[in-house]
Structure 1
Amino acid sequence: MGSHRNALVAAVRQELAEARGTARAVLAAAETARGEAQHRKGLVREAYATCLNQLAAARETARDDIQRRYRSEAVRLAGHLRGLATVSATGAAGAPWRVWAPSEPEPGGRPGLLRIGTIAFEETAALPGLVPLLDAAHLHLAGPPAVLDQVITGLLLRALGSTRPGDVRLTVYDPEQLGGILAPFAPLSPSLVGPGALGSLLDELVEHICRVNEMPGPRTEPWRLVVLLADRATAAEMTAVQRAQLDRIVRNGVAAGVHLLVRGLDLEEHASVERIVVSERTAYCDSLGPLAITLDPPPPADRVAAFCKAAADRLRAGPAPAKLSDLEPPKFWAASSAYGLPAPIGDCTDGTMVEVPLGDEFPHALIGGPSGSGKTNLIHVWLGSLATRYGPEELALYLLDFKEGVSFARYAPGSRDPSWLPQVRLAGININADREFGLAMLRHLAEELRTRSLAGKRHGAGTLAELRAADPDGHWPRIVAVVDEFQALITGRDAVAEEAAGLLEDIARRGGPQGVHLILASPDTIGVQSLAGCFPLRIALPKARRILPDDNLAAAVIPRYHAVVNTASGAAGANRIVRLPDAGDRTVWRTLQRRLWRSRPVGCEEPRLFDGNAVPRLPAAYRAAASTLEPGSSPGAVLGERIDVAARPARLRLGRMPGRNLAVLGARTDEACDVLSAAALSLAAQGPAHFSVICLAPEAERAAARLVAELPVADWYDSSDVTFDLPAAEVPHYVLGYALDAAGPAHRESLRALLDTGPERRTHVLGWWRTVPRLRDDLGGLNAGFDAIGAWVALDVPGADLTPLYPQPGGPVWYPRARRALFFDRSVHRTPEVIIPYEVNSDHT
């Protein structure tokens, strides 16, 4: 008897040790492989059922004193089991109803087991009784219909409450009560299938499974949870075809995310079917063997209704955007851009990040969406993701916004925030009326492309990666040019649109291998189809038109803060739906930008900010004597700022050649005075000079007086003593005339003589005439030539009125606009250029 008892003790001890070892091994594996959620769920699920059965077997084998002796071992094993249950049924999937609340899975997490009751052990407190469902099994329930309906209600609430709203689509077949037993779920708008429609439902499910299985990559469709509440008539009337379709769903549905909860209808024997047999208060299921599960009471009806209403409200509002911080890499600026600029812009439905593969294979991107769809937000998100991965040595950004807004101003230093994004080289805002600035940026990129091409030929390199390897000491970052509302730049029938379209097409075709990339955003591609072929990478926002082909309707159904990423020129099979963060929180963005700004390398220059609504002031270097001219060089009068990338001044060289005079034309007094003042002050800063200021317009007297006060040597003339018979000076002499057309016929001969012969004597006239006809009168009338005026600045003068001063018939294409002028120097220009007159005479300058 003693030997028998010892053998029994040894057997029980061995069984308990094996069960405990299995639990510990599974817990260690789950902790180590935490990131592999689906694999972990499978391991924990198997371990949970295995350990429960081993514990039950040990309990049955042990007797009396043996059971007491190993009670502590059983308690410890039960603790491990409780830990496994907690891992496998987290939050709403396993919480008791008294503390139940909905919970969402972590990004990348997969569904676990669902609680239906508890399993009692004498050695320890009750353990949760869990069954598989989503991504694991179909459930076949047998027993009293009223109890089964309560179990089904609880399972549905746990499945819906532990997933995101919209991740599970509910379908109910209920020929007797037409879904009445699931009435609390009505706010979620489940699909109700009535009598006679079972065959159609099964056919639709089979087609859905086939379609999901044919899709490349991971499944993105929501789970289909199909509740079949069959009666005797349904089972008796099923045809052979319907039975075959049901068997196909059983065999293939789980892999495609289609799951059945069946009551009253037999299912074929298959590994994916979990059978649950229910009595009044107890249930047995396949995975737990002989262990009895004491069923939980049904969830309170008011709690089910409240949850479904809240979930429906969230579903209608659309999912909350992801966080901008979710896109940040573990370490800033650790990535190399040698082969591309892949960066995530959001997550997909299962929480995994979606990368945009900008680089050699997909060199450019086209973004489409109507106004208000989130194009600017997407650009901010993308730039933030790029800026955290690639440092200023790896990435250079050029940003243009042709909307009436300042969305890119955040990347440049401002009065409230001195930080800037270190990768940004240029930002243009409020440029909807300044297409010339967009053209200037494209010219700059074309020149950079030419430079890289020549460097590649010298080093025998055909791509940027090869050039960087052959020239490691060179500075070759990838360049990304972002143009929002780019269609404003290339639509129209003028020289700017024609040249811009040609440059865009050239950069799009040749820029990728050299590391020059375009991101173009537009509400519609109409009018720009010639460029669309260069952009296989497309990103469509809600309600986008013509960005994707007509047979790709994905953009029509996605909600706010979502986008369709497509790398096959819009082909429907290449769609990836991405959920975008909200980059509108300026506090969050400012915090990120300041972190990057503080880490900027030594010598990192702040970006050039061009604001179309801002008026540049005359730089201090042109207001005071800062330098003298080099021998043999001609003085240069600064007239305004050129609309280009480098913010260079527009200069007029005043040498000893005929015609080296300037005419400022137009009726805008303030701007005309600013042009003359900027010219005079910049000339005075270049060395000794004599100035004669003639003011014949009362509205210009204040500006003229300020100029005289600031010039080192200046004579003042007004209408009482106006004269153009000025004495010769030993230094350059500049005659500044305000409203010279008011001098009258008595002074025309002397004015004409000064214009004709003055430049040879180093005397130059910089005068303001309020109209072109008045200038013509002063030069000799209708048949007079304009040779004495070698350069002019037109303010509010239409292009057609400038025909007499322009070498080509019809005059220049010029539509006057505020604080812009057309500058033409016949010794330099083939066509006029638009400039911005500096602000000189305002009170704060």
Structure 2
Amino acid sequence: KAEATEAREALETEHAELLALLERDSQHALDELAARDAHDRAEAERKVGEYRDHARATYAEETTAADRAKAETMRAAEAAHTFATTQAAAAWTTHMEQLRGQLAEIAEYATHACPAWSQRLDGSWSFDRQLPPATRLGQVDVAFVDLASGPAPADPVLCSLAPESLSLPIMLDVANRGSLLIECDPLGRDDAIRLVQTILLRLLIATPPGRAKLTIFDPIGRGRSFAGLMRLADFDDSLVGSRIWTESRHMEARLTDLTEHIENVIQKYLRDDYASIDEYNRVAGEIAEPYRYLVIADFPANFTEDAAARLASIIDAGARCGVFVIMLADPAGKLPPEVDLRELRARAIVLQGQPGNSFRLASPILKDLTFTPDPAPSEAESAALLTRVGEEAQNADRVEVSYRVVEPPAESIWSRSCADELRIPIGRAGATKAQELRLGRGTSQHVLIAGKTGSGKSTLLHILTTAAMLWHAPSEVEFYLVDFKKGVEFKPYASGDLPHIRAVAIESDREFGLSILQRLDTELRRRGDLYREHGVQSLAQFRERFPDEPMPRSILIIDEFQEFFVEDDRVAQDASLLLDRLVRQGRAFGIHVLLASQTLSGAYSLARSTVGQMAVRIALKCSETDSYLILSEDNAAARLLSRPGEAIYNDANGLVEGNNPFQVAWLSDEERDGVLRRLETLAARHRVSFEEPVFFEGNAAADLARNRQLRRHTREGARPVAPRAALGDPVSIKDPTSAIMRRRGGANLLIVGQRAETAAAMLASSVISLAVQHDHAGPRAARFLVVDGTPEDDPLAGRLHEAVGPLPHDIRPVSWRDAPVAVAEAHTEMLAREEANRTDGPAIYLVLQGLHWLRSLRRKEDDFSFSLDKEASGPAPDEQLKALLIDGPRLGIFVLAWCDTVGSLTRALDRPAIAEFGNRVLMQMSANDSSMLIEATSAARLGLHRAIFFDEERGAEEKFRPYALPDRSFVESLASDMTTPHE
């Protein structure tokens, strides 16, 4: 316990000491700290004072510099502000002036392109010949402040420069974005229809004449909605597609036509060469494609699934091809799934109907603005404008591709060889390519052409004929031209101085056409014999081995060839066989057949097996039926052809894949005649020798001056034993029709028919041709007693005597009063020769013009005179005439007589006397009269400029064209030749 106490006390003492020591050390430390703190504080206060003084000095300096910089900046800012304000005012002024100028230009263009309807009726206005960029639909009006992106200038002067409002015309991009979609409910339909009518009239006026084609669907209105536009069909059906379509099947067919057109434009015209039809048209020039507008009211009424699918295709591809859609649709209606109107909206101007019979533009920029359509014309103005459009389109319908496209340059005339292939340019295909007719290779050997009246078929025939003659020499190609129709298309080729021409038939008879086929068949056989003889199989081989032996390609062109088959007779059968042979066998021998017709339908046509051999088809504007016939059963492309000269060239037997649209070149009559004169001059310059061609002009009388035998007799002075009385040209390729005046019974000539001038012409040509074959002087000189019974007040009186008057022979004109004297003279000579048994005396010809007028020669029905009186006075004139008919020919005395009818003939002569006319010419008469004279009714089917010659000795009849009265200068030239001594 004590120890514990001591220990505690010791600890307390030690603790107290330690506390005292700690307290002393702490105080000492505190004193030291306080001293250092005072020192530091004093030092800090000193430094703070120094820093404060420095900062105040620096602040003062920097403040002074900032004040200077601020002042400078403010001066610069004020200067820049002043400059910017001035520039902004100037820019504002310039922009406002430009805006006003642009608005004025827009207004001026819109006014010029789409003036008021009344101004369109002003006589000074005319259609544009180039497609304008756009046409006006209406306008939108907007306040300027609604368009501004910021506040207006504070300066009232600048504010006054800005227009208060803008009137912006809404234009339809005609060439590239010419579609229009109007969306409205049934309540707004009438206003929408009126708007479409106005827009269509604008388009028709803005587009060059004939270059806007409408296809209109009006399934609910049944055509009433656009009936006024049908006024255009009075001028050109193609402007409105013939009619307004309302039925589903018709609408689908028209959509098919449009899609086929689009396919054709893309594949044949645009390809990858042109971005749009507008770009193509700028190059194509005169063969530019028209723009087509598909107008649809009340979509989707009466649209089938197929029609909707085709419409979708048109919307998708049509704009590039110039096919645009103007559609009136009900947005609440159920649309076909095949048609997505978003496609049309993207390619069209879209108008949406609004309450109150107004419209707005479905455009992000203009959607809040009201669209104001242009006012519609009055009914009278609309009718007058449509009439003007139709007239201008009718005048502009002819597209003329220059003949320079097909003719060779001067240095290339007659430069082509057709040994391997015949190539004839005939027009333009597309913007720059020439279309050629190519024959001689593969199956391209023969051609079939069809085109209705006014389609340009005749022009095509002229083009290929003249172009072939310009490119190829006469040794390369020759032509046989036959025209069955009532026209003279081939008459310019009948000059006789064109070395390429072998035969020309104008308004030909079937028999003459058949004779040309027979001639070509003979040529085919001749060439076949040559091939076999020389061991060749084609024209190219023959020409290569025998270049100096001419063998041109022969081209037979028959226009209206179906005339061959209008009657089921021998001519039709022979023609069918010969055409089939030429078509099947002609290819190897360079013989090509080209058949043309206005229509291939009907009962009278060529056998389909023959047509099937003609691989080249050229279809011009024709009906849908003919399109199938000339092309193929699934190829109706020709029905879409609308303008003259627009055609389809197909060398694949009419299959769709062979279609090549083109435009036939244009050749005016004057230009054609100039080409033919050039060819005649060229042939004369090169002294081309060629066979004289054969001519047949069925719509005119024959020309005696073309009688080659007559010229030959005159030139050579030949004196045949049995001279021939030339009557006319046969309807076949042979020598002229003539009556042989043999010195034997029955060799008299009788002409019966009511055409007095034709009869006089045949008598005149008989006298002239007989005179040429006889001496005009000397003991063998022929004598002619020409009795003209024509009444003196008849215009024909004296014409026969005038026609034969220049001849140097003993030709005695006899009036009707002296007819018995002439008969008695001939009868006296006959008796003298008979008594002397002289049958070789010089020929005497008694010509009786008009037996029915020569009453003094008429036989007596009842003869009560006594035989002693007869013996005292001699035989009567009628008996003398009968004796001449019976006994005269064997003694060289012949009778050539004309009588108007069989009735008059039987009153003038009895049957035994009539039987002495072994040579008979019949003009048109009844079947009974024809049978009485030649025991056949052939003369009943004769027309103008036709007659039948019957040779009783041969029992043969021959159809021919009688000669016209010869020109006096021609007879005088013959007379001069006859009086010129022959070497």
Q: Is 1:697–2:789 an aligned residue pair?
A: yes
SS in 2 for 1:392: coil
Q: Rate the CA distance shift 1:622–1:764 in 2: closer, same or farther, 3 A.
A: same
Q: 1:448 aligns with which of 523, 529, 532?
A: 523
8 Å contact from structure 2 (residues 748, 917) kept in 1? yes
Q: 1:576 aligns with which of 655, 660, 675?
A: 660
Corresponding residue of 1:615? 701
Q: Rate the CA distance shift 1:423–1:173 in 2: closer, same or farther, 3 A.
A: same
Q: Distance in 2 between matches of 1:757 and 1:594?
A: 55
Corresponding residue of 2:451? 369
Q: 2:605 aligns with which of 528, 533, 549?
A: 528
Q: Is 1:744–2:874 an aligned residue pair?
A: no
SS in 1 for 2:540: helix
Q: Rate the CA distance shift 1:349–1:705 in 2: closer, same or farther, 3 A.
A: closer
Q: Rate the CA distance shift 1:190–1:412 in 2: closer, same or farther, 3 A.
A: closer
Q: Rate the CA distance shift 1:659–1:588 in 2: closer, same or farther, 3 A.
A: closer
8 Å contact from structure 2 (residues 843, 892) kept in 1? yes
Matches within 5 A, 1:371-520: 371-413=453-495, 422-431=499-508, 434-520=509-595
**Greater C-alpha radius of gyration:** 2
Tell me by how many angstroms 1:516 deviates: 1.5
AA in 2 matched with 1:802:
S
Corresponding residue of 2:929? 801
Q: Distance in 2 between matches of 1:390 and 1:680?
A: 44
8 Å contact from structure 1 (residues 635, 654) kept in 2? yes
Q: Distance in 2 between matches of 1:587 and 1:737?
A: 45
Q: Rate the CA distance shift 1:594–1:514 in 2: closer, same or farther, 3 A.
A: same
Corresponding residue of 2:632? 549
Tell me by how many angstroms 1:350 deviates: 4.0
Corresponding residue of 2:241? none
The range that moved more, 392-401 or 831-840, is 831-840
Instruction: String of CA shifts for 1:777-797, please: whole Å, max 9, x gaps.
Output: 77654xx49653321111243
Q: Distance in 2 between matches of 1:312 and 1:694?
A: 63
SS in 2 for 1:736: strand
SS in 2 for 1:511: helix
Q: 1:712 aligns with which of 809, 819, 839?
A: 809
Structure richer in helix, relative to its length: 2
Q: Rate the CA distance shift 1:318–1:788 in 2: closer, same or farther, 3 A.
A: closer
Q: Is 1:837–2:963 an aligned residue pair?
A: yes
Corresponding residue of 1:758? 888
User: Normalising by structure 2, what TM-score?
Assistant: 0.52
Q: Rate the CA distance shift 1:175–1:341 in 2: closer, same or farther, 3 A.
A: same
SS in 2 for 1:499: helix
Q: Is 1:824–2:953 an aligned residue pair?
A: no
The range that moved more, 366-375 or 545-554, is 545-554
Corresponding residue of 1:732? 842
AA in 2 matched with 1:581:
A
Q: Rate the CA distance shift 1:472–1:792 in 2: closer, same or farther, 3 A.
A: same
Matches within 5 A, 1:210-221: none
Q: Distance in 1 between matches of 2:717 and 2:676?
A: 42
AA in 1 matched with 2:787:
C
Q: Rate the CA distance shift 1:591–1:764 in 2: closer, same or farther, 3 A.
A: closer
Instruction: String of CA shifts for 1:630-688, please: whole Å, max 9, x gaps.
Output: 5xx42322332223576843232222333222222234333323322322232222233
Corresponding residue of 2:21? none
Q: Distance in 2 between matches of 1:313 and 1:224?
A: 29
Q: Is 1:602–2:602 an aligned residue pair?
A: no
Q: Rate the CA distance shift 1:652–1:420 in 2: closer, same or farther, 3 A.
A: closer
8 Å contact from structure 2 (residues 269, 431) kept in 1? no
Tell me by how many angstroms 1:375 deviates: 0.9
**Aligned residues between the structures:** 602
Corresponding residue of 2:764? 677
Gaps of 5+ in 2: 1-127, 132-167, 185-191, 205-211, 217-254, 279-308, 324-385, 775-779, 861-875, 972-983
Q: Rate the CA distance shift 1:474–1:553 in 2: closer, same or farther, 3 A.
A: same
Q: Is 1:337–2:418 an aligned residue pair?
A: yes
Q: 1:357 aligns with which of 414, 433, 438?
A: 438
8 Å contact from structure 2 (residues 924, 939) kept in 1? no
Tell me by how many angstroms 1:493 deviates: 3.6
Q: Rate the CA distance shift 1:189–1:799 in 2: closer, same or farther, 3 A.
A: closer
SS in 2 for 1:718: helix
AA in 1 matched with 2:472:
Y
AA in 1 matched with 2:605:
V
AA in 1 matched with 2:963:
P
8 Å contact from structure 2 (residues 483, 490) kept in 1? yes
Instruction: String of CA shifts for 1:173-227, please: whole Å, max 9, x gaps.
Output: 8999x9x9xx9997779999xxxxxxxxxxx99x989x9699988866996799x
Instruction: String of CA shifts for 1:597-646, please: whole Å, max 9, x gaps.
Output: 4333313457555433443443498599765545xx42322332223576
Q: Rate the CA distance shift 1:349–1:693 in 2: closer, same or farther, 3 A.
A: same
Instruction: String of CA shifts for 1:697-730, please: whole Å, max 9, x gaps.
Output: 3438735644477462356552356423433275
SS in 1 for 2:470: helix
Tell me by how many angstroms 1:528 deviates: 0.8
SS in 2 for 1:598: helix
Tell me by how many angstroms 1:816 deviates: 3.5
Instruction: String of CA shifts for 1:322-346, please: whole Å, max 9, x gaps.
Output: 2221223452222111122122322
Q: Rate the CA distance shift 1:765–1:103 in 2: closer, same or farther, 3 A.
A: closer
8 Å contact from structure 1 (residues 430, 612) kept in 2? yes
Instruction: String of CA shifts for 1:494-521, please: whole Å, max 9, x gaps.
Output: 4444433333333222222211212211
AA in 2 matched with 1:732:
P
Q: Distance in 2 between matches of 1:759 and 1:793?
A: 18
8 Å contact from structure 2 (residues 886, 916) kept in 1? yes
8 Å contact from structure 2 (residues 555, 592) kept in 1? yes
Q: Distance in 2 between matches of 1:731 and 1:363?
A: 60
Q: Rate the CA distance shift 1:473–1:169 in 2: closer, same or farther, 3 A.
A: farther
Instruction: String of CA shifts for 1:61-92, please: whole Å, max 9, x gaps.
Output: xxxxxxxxxxxxxxxxxxxxxxxxxxxxxxxx
Q: Rate the CA distance shift 1:815–1:172 in 2: closer, same or farther, 3 A.
A: closer
Q: Rate the CA distance shift 1:557–1:376 in 2: closer, same or farther, 3 A.
A: same
Tell me by how many angstroms 1:748 deviates: 4.7
SS in 2 for 1:507: helix
Instruction: String of CA shifts for 1:549-578, please: whole Å, max 9, x gaps.
Output: 353221121231410112233222221111
Identity over aligned pairs, percent = 26
Corresponding residue of 2:407? 328
SS in 1 for 2:439: coil
8 Å contact from structure 2 (residues 511, 732) kept in 1? no
Gaps of 5+ in 1: 1-101, 106-149, 161-167, 193-203, 227-244, 260-308, 414-418
AA in 1 matched with 2:597:
S
8 Å contact from structure 1 (residues 459, 471) kept in 2? no
The range that moved more, 377-386 or 835-844, is 835-844
Q: Distance in 1 between matches of 2:738 and 2:949?
A: 10
8 Å contact from structure 1 (residues 345, 580) kept in 2? yes
Q: Distance in 1 between matches of 2:732 and 2:892?
A: 34
Q: Distance in 1 between matches of 2:534 and 2:263?
A: 50
8 Å contact from structure 2 (residues 565, 606) kept in 1? no
Q: Distance in 2 between matches of 1:628 and 1:747?
A: 36
AA in 2 matched with 1:576:
N
Matches within 5 A, 1:108-119: none
The range that moved more, 645-654 or 617-626, is 617-626
Q: Rate the CA distance shift 1:574–1:680 in 2: closer, same or farther, 3 A.
A: same
